Amino acid sequence: MHTVKQGPMKEEPINECPVPKGILMIIGGHENKGENPEKDHNRKKEDRLSVLKVFVSLINSQDPVIEIVTSASSEGDVLFGEYLRAFHDLGVKRVGHIHHDDREKVLHEAASCIDRIKQTDAVFFSGGDQLKLTFLYGGTELLLCLKQRYIREQLVIGGTSAGAMAMSTPMIYAGNKDVQQIAGEVKITTGLEFLKDVCIDTHFVDRGRFVRMAQVVATNPTCIGIGIEEDTAIIIRNGIEAEVCGTGILITIDGRHIRSSNITEFGDNPKVTIRDLHVDVLSEGNSFIIPQTNPPHI
């Protein structure tokens, strides 16, 4: 009788990447800040401030401090005034304003800004130009402090429009509806990386951005695309547990089963072709797990 020698048992890979204790709230833009929603036939009276109300409810404090970062916008004071009124309306009295116009100022004011980031319960990034956010804060002590708090503490980080798009990697910064159907015309760079292997796009339904997101996913199918309609948001807990809230829809684009595409044949303005994308359309209360197909490593 022969015995078969068993080799060493294979162990399942361990994901050693820390699970964030913080919460992300990523908004598709144009969230209601207190205006009468009845002007829009798709909105109801109870939709007033609904998304921002959820943001406040996520904060683990009876008397929260919120810092509003308007650096993506050229009208920071105006935007801050709108959010100040909205959050006051929701009972939040301690609301600070962070705004930078140039990177040298970010570096120069690092100590005072980091002090404020350490004291706050939530940070909210406004809309504007997402490339400004990555240029101003990428590689800074301020961003490092924000990420460390998000990983280790119950910090809530929100972003809307450009402030939402900057949360992910890859990050779209160019490629409007006039060129999105041409292979290679959608431009991406590295975002602030609160979400990795995820691309966020905002105003998704309102501005017809499905094709540009599909292009991003086709360039690297490890990445999942999440397109968010206006006045709609996705809440992300534990880094990967996603839940939809708000008055509109969210569309996910999964490219792991793409079998063909002409995405590499750019240069002669070919219209993009992608076969076998997986698409889900979700609304308030729906949830899903962001797939993890790219093991973390140093």
Is residue 196 a part of any domain in this protein?
A: yes
For the question of whether the overall pTM of this predicted structure is more than 0.85, the answer is yes
Q: Name 168's bridge partners.
A: 195
Mean pLDDT for all residues in the chain: 91
Q: What is the mean pLDDT of residues 38-47?
A: 67
- Percent of the chain at pLDDT > 90 equals 78
Q: What is the pLDDT of residue 296?
A: 81
- Asked whether residue 6 is assigned to any structural domain, the reply reads no
Domain containing residue 54: CATH number: 3.40.50.880
Inside any domain, residue 32: yes
Residue 124: give the domain boundaries: 23-288
Segment 182-206 shows an average pLDDT of 92
Higher pLDDT, 182 or 5: 182
pLDDT number for residue 111 = 93
CB atoms under 10 Å from CB of 115, counted, come to 11
Task: Quote the pLDDT of residue 174.
Answer: 86
Map residue 82 onto helix, strand or coil: helix
Percent of the chain with pLDDT over 70: 92
Any idea which residue has 């990177």 for tokens? 103
The number of beta carbons lying within 10 Å of the beta carbon of residue 135 is 15
pLDDT band for 270, please (50, 70, 90 cuts).
Answer: confident
Q: Residue 114 — pLDDT band, cuts 50, 70, 90?
A: very high
What's the DSSP call for residue 206?
A: T
pLDDT at 62 over 60: yes
The pLDDT of residue 295: 84
Residue 10 lies in a domain: no
pLDDT, average across residues 86-113: 96
Mean pLDDT of 80-96: 98
Tokens 């490339």 correspond to 131
Task: Tell me whether residue 187 is in a domain.
Answer: yes
Over residues 174-182, the mean pLDDT reads 76
Residue 117 placed within a domain:
yes
> End-to-end distance of the chain based on CA atoms, in angstroms?
48
Total number of domains in the chain: 1
Whether 252 is in a domain gets the answer: yes
Confidence of residue 177 (pLDDT cuts 50, 70, 90): confident
- pLDDT, residue 100, reads 97
- Amino acid (1-letter code) at residue 23: I
- At 4, the pLDDT band (50, 70, 90 cuts) reads very low
Structure confidence at residue 7 (pLDDT): 47
Contacts of 149 (CB under 8 A, 6+ apart): 22, 117, 118, 155
| Sequence-separated (6 or more) residues with CB below 8 Å from residue 27 | 51, 158, 159, 160, 161, 163, 164, 202, 228, 232, 233, 246
What is the Cα–Cα distance from 50 to 209, expressed in whole angstroms? 24
Q: With respect to residue 103, please indicate whether it lies within any of the assigned structural domains.
A: yes
Instruction: Report how far residue 55's alpha carbon sits from residue 224's, in angstroms, rounded to the nearest whole number.
Output: 24
Query: Which residue from 255, 206, 214 is spatially nearest to 232, judged by alpha carbons?
Result: 206
Query: Of 229, 230, 268, 275, nearest to 252 (Cα)?
Result: 229
